[in-house]
Amino acid sequence: MATQVDTSASTGAGRVASPSFWSGVWQNHAPGYLFLLPWLIGFLGLTIGPILTSFYLSFTHFDLLTAPRWAGIDNYMRMFTNDPKFAASMRVTFVFVVFSVPLKLAFALGVALLLNRGMKGLPLYRALFYLPSLLGASVAIAILWRQMFAGNGLVNQLLANFGIQGPSWISNPNTSLWTLIILAVWQFGSPMIIFLAGLRQIPQDMYEAASLDGASKWRQFWKITLPMLTPVVFFNAIIQTIEAFKSFTPAFIISGGTGGPINSTLFYTLYLYNEAFGFFRMGYASALAWVLLAIVALFTAFSFLTSKYWVHYDD
Amino acid sequence: MATSIELKQIKKAYGDVAVIHGVDLTIDPGEFTVFVGPSGCGKSTLLRMIAGLEPITGGDLLIDGQRMNEVPAAKRGIAMVFQSYALYPHMSVYQNLAFGLETARMPRPEIEKRVQRAAEILKIEPLLKRKPKQLSGGQRQRVAIGRAIVREPKIFLFDEPLSNLDAELRVAMRVEIAKLHNDLGNTMIYVTHDQVEAMTMADKIVVLRAGIIEQAGAPLELYNNPRNLFVAGFIGSPKMNFLNASVENGALVAAGTALSLGREVGGATMLGIRPEHITIAEGSGVKFADVRVDLVENLGGQTVVYATTSDGQALTIVLEGQRSVDLGSSVSAYLDPAKAHVFDAEGQAIR
């Protein structure tokens, strides 16, 4: 090994290592780096720093008051062997992701298809449909949702008109998660806008060619629209899935921060938050955060690996 | 066997804006008809109405004598080749060719047979497994034509199919489409803005302008006997020369010279002569102008002379072979009276 020297690498390394190289960089580009400095400080101090710190903390016990105590992989061991709440939060989050993302994308695509048929006042409708997405993550909407699905809320008042006595949706563990899924689907605006842009990109003459071939609208959708839209579907699916994994505010507000009833709305992030700021188990919370990151990373990697089998790129 | 098409007072309007103003046209079975005209003349709109992609505002469209106005595009027995090719990018060439047949629920062996035959005709067999993005422009064009062939339609429609190809390929594909027409014998309609394509491919050229037919006829008929100034100027390259003219004592006067054309020229205001019908050799026709040579292009087979008459009108002359003409020199231009065109103040030809 030692005798085999890659000449190109060694010259490259020599060049990088020489002090004149760095001073040259500085002399030539000092103003640029100075302009970059505020961002660089923020990136290192507010992003990279906390990330690395949390990684370290995930191997410690830390209650914010006393210095972190090294714990090895205790936190991770506990998570996977001895924490029913972790398992519950995992289950809740997966149910939320598995249902809310496809429903939201289907709904967004459906509305985009309707809007794409060319109607008067399209910009107005587009803005109106996008509005829930702007408001959706806010505390106010979550509170509104809580009122709507409460025992004497708007939903039950409407149902009462048809003689149906609805349950208290948010305090029933069988339905509470579904109110959150509906809330997520209602915020279909952002994927819808992207779908709409994608639909606009599909050349009209492809539909004309297909209609000359006698293809029905239904067949045109499955054989042309959907395949040609797969890059956009792929993008939306990735973004929305990550969003869903990270979802926090609605569950926090609607369950009053508890994830109840009976942990039925205990989102992963909510559990993490409670561990960190309710019980001040910063080490354990950090470990939870890293596991979530790993799950999201695995999911994303898996999506990219499978994408070549179902995502069609034009050129 | 082949199919006839008849347009009777076909009209198209978008709201209040009329774009096709009552077109009458008969296309005989097996004829290769070319719609030609400047952009915005309505040629593509007319084609799309025949295809069934645009609703017909007024008049009748008859295919084999049957009214087709309300018949959906898929049931008119037509296939169309689009300017953009409109290939499905996510499907292989085979799937592109088979799409229409699968839509029609044709049995698989029959689909394979038809695709195979179309691929043979167009020499695209090695490409069947590829995606459109892996093909060159010419190959895509072939696939687009193949998609029309497999359906074995009664009528082929082409909407500027060659305009995305480079010049060399365009000439080659032009020949192939003409050959295809010979082999298949179907009725075909071809839209182009390129009058050379029209002249070389058509059995019948239909010259359109602003939603009306200016003239329809065989290519040489249009070349030899243009009905009006527009057709005269549109057909032929380089363009026909137009010189202001007047009639004095029954004789045509153009560029300060009185001409005897040996026929009636009453009401003439314009003399038209094709560049290739002018000579500068003495004794080869009637002298009609003295011109100053501004520019000479030696193309090898031809010599193109750009000149100005004594009263300042531009004149293009195409001389056969390689000729030495001096820049700035003064030469006399001669014409054959039989090949001169005369137009009245409305731009209509006087014959």
Question: What are the tens digits of pLDDT across the range B223-267?
Answer: 999 999 999 999 988 999 999 988 888 788 888 788 887 788 888
Measured torsion, CA atoms of residues A97, A103, A109, A115, in degrees rounded to the nearest 10:
-130
Q: Is A224 on the interface with B (CB under 8 A)?
A: yes
Read out DSSP for B89-118? TTS-HHHHHHHHHHHTT--HHHHHHHHHHH
CA distance A59 to chain B (A): 48
Residue B28 and residue B4 in contact, taking contact as beta carbons nearer than 8 Å: yes
**Is the domain of B244 the same as that of B182?**
no
**Is the domain of B184 the same as that of B227?**
yes
**pLDDT at position A11:** 45
Measured torsion, CA atoms of residues B315, B321, B327, B328, in degrees rounded to the nearest 10:
-50
**Is the domain of B199 the same as that of B249?**
no
Q: Which two tokens stand for residue B273?
A: 């002569």
**pLDDT at position A14:** 45
Q: Is B276 in a helix, a strand, or coil?
A: helix
**pLDDT at position A5:** 43
Q: Using the 3D structure, point to which of B183, B213, B233 is the last residue of a domain.
A: B233
Tens digit of each residue's pLDDT, chain A (315 residues): 344 444 444 444 445 556 678 888 888 888 888 899 999 999 999 999 999 999 999 998 888 888 888 888 888 888 888 888 888 899 999 999 999 999 999 999 998 998 888 777 888 887 888 887 777 567 777 788 887 887 777 887 888 788 777 777 777 777 888 888 888 888 888 899 899 999 998 999 999 999 998 899 999 999 999 999 999 999 999 999 998 998 888 888 877 777 777 888 888 999 999 888 888 888 899 999 999 999 999 999 999 999 988 888 875
**Is the domain of B201 the same as that of B54?**
yes
CA distance A223 to chain B (A): 9
Residue B215 and residue B239 in contact, taking contact as beta carbons nearer than 8 Å: no
Q: Is B253 in a helix, a strand, or coil?
A: strand
**Is the domain of B63 the same as that of B173?**
yes
Instruction: Quickly name the fold that domain A76-310 has.
Output: MetI-like fold (1.10.3720)
Cα nearest neighbour of A205 on chain B: B86
**Is the domain of B223 the same as that of B245?**
no
Mean pLDDT (chain B) is 91
**Is the domain of B89 the same as that of B54?**
yes
- C-alpha to C-alpha distance for B271 and B290, rounded to whole angstroms: 15
Q: Which residues of B fall within a CB distance of 8 Å from A314?
A: 89, 133
Where residue B204 falls among pLDDT bands split at 50, 70, 90? Answer: very high
- pTM across the whole model: 0.80
Using the CB atoms, write b or e for A268-279: b if 16+ within 10 Å.
Answer: bbbbbbbbbeee
Nearest by CB to A219, from B73, B103, B151: name it: B103
**Is the domain of B226 the same as that of B284?**
no
Q: Which residues of B fall within a CB distance of 8 Å from A223?
A: 88, 99
B82 with A214: Cβ contact below 8 A: no
Q: In this predicted model, which residue has the larger pLDDT, A138 or B348?
A: B348
Q: Of the candidates B335, B314, B330, B311, which has an alpha carbon nearest to the alpha carbon of residue B256?
A: B311
Domains in chain A: boundaries: 76-310
* Mean pLDDT of the region B182-205: 92
Alpha-carbon distance values, B181 to B154, B170, B295 (Å): 12, 16, 41
**Is the domain of B139 the same as that of B215?**
yes
- C-alpha to C-alpha distance for B212 and B25, rounded to whole angstroms: 11
A205 with B151: Cβ contact below 8 A: no
- C-alpha to C-alpha distance for A243 and A54, rounded to whole angstroms: 21
Domain CATH code at residue B49: 3.40.50.300
B74 with A211: Cβ contact below 8 A: yes
CA distance A116 to chain B (A): 19
A214 with B88: Cβ contact below 8 A: no
**pLDDT at position A130:** 81
Nearest by CB to A212, from B79, B84, B133: name it: B79
**pLDDT at position A17:** 54
Q: Is A186 in a helix, a strand, or coil?
A: helix
| Cβ within 8 Å of residue A170, ≥6 positions away | A146, A149, A150, A176, A179, A254, A255
**pLDDT at position A174:** 77
- C-alpha to C-alpha distance for B116 and B113, rounded to whole angstroms: 5
Q: Which residues pair with B333 in a beta bridge?
A: B289
Q: Using the 3D structure, point to which of B201, B233, B265 is the last residue of a domain.
A: B233
B84 with A205: Cβ contact below 8 A: yes
Q: Is B75 on the interface with A (CB under 8 A)?
A: yes
Peptide bond into A261 cis (omega under 30): yes
**pLDDT at position A315:** 58
**pLDDT at position A238:** 93
Q: In this predicted model, which residue has the larger pLDDT, A71 or B208?
A: B208
**pLDDT at position A4:** 47
**Is the domain of B252 the same as that of B105?**
no
A228 with B133: Cβ contact below 8 A: no
B133 with A314: Cβ contact below 8 A: yes
Domain CATH code at residue B345: 2.40.50.140
ipTM of the prediction greater than 0.90, yes or no: no
* Mutation choice for A interface testing from B53, B114, B147 by most A CBs within 10 A: B53
**Is the domain of B148 the same as that of B208?**
yes
- C-alpha to C-alpha distance for B103 and B111, rounded to whole angstroms: 11
* B325 DSSP assignment: -
Q: Is B71 on the interface with A (CB under 8 A)?
A: no
B residues 236..295 contacting A (CB < 8 A): none
Cα nearest neighbour of B54 on chain A: A208
Where residue B282 falls among pLDDT bands split at 50, 70, 90? Answer: confident
Range of the domain at B109: 5-233
A215 with B99: Cβ contact below 8 A: yes
CA distance A234 to chain B (A): 15
**pLDDT at position A235:** 94
- C-alpha to C-alpha distance for B336 and B351, rounded to whole angstroms: 15
A214 with B74: Cβ contact below 8 A: yes
* Mean pLDDT of the region B299-316: 92
The maximal CA–CA distance of chain B, rounded, in angstroms, is: 78
Q: Is A215 on the interface with B (CB under 8 A)?
A: yes
**Is the domain of B120 the same as that of B252?**
no
Q: Using the 3D structure, point to which of B233, B263, B285 is the last residue of a domain.
A: B233
**pLDDT at position A136:** 58
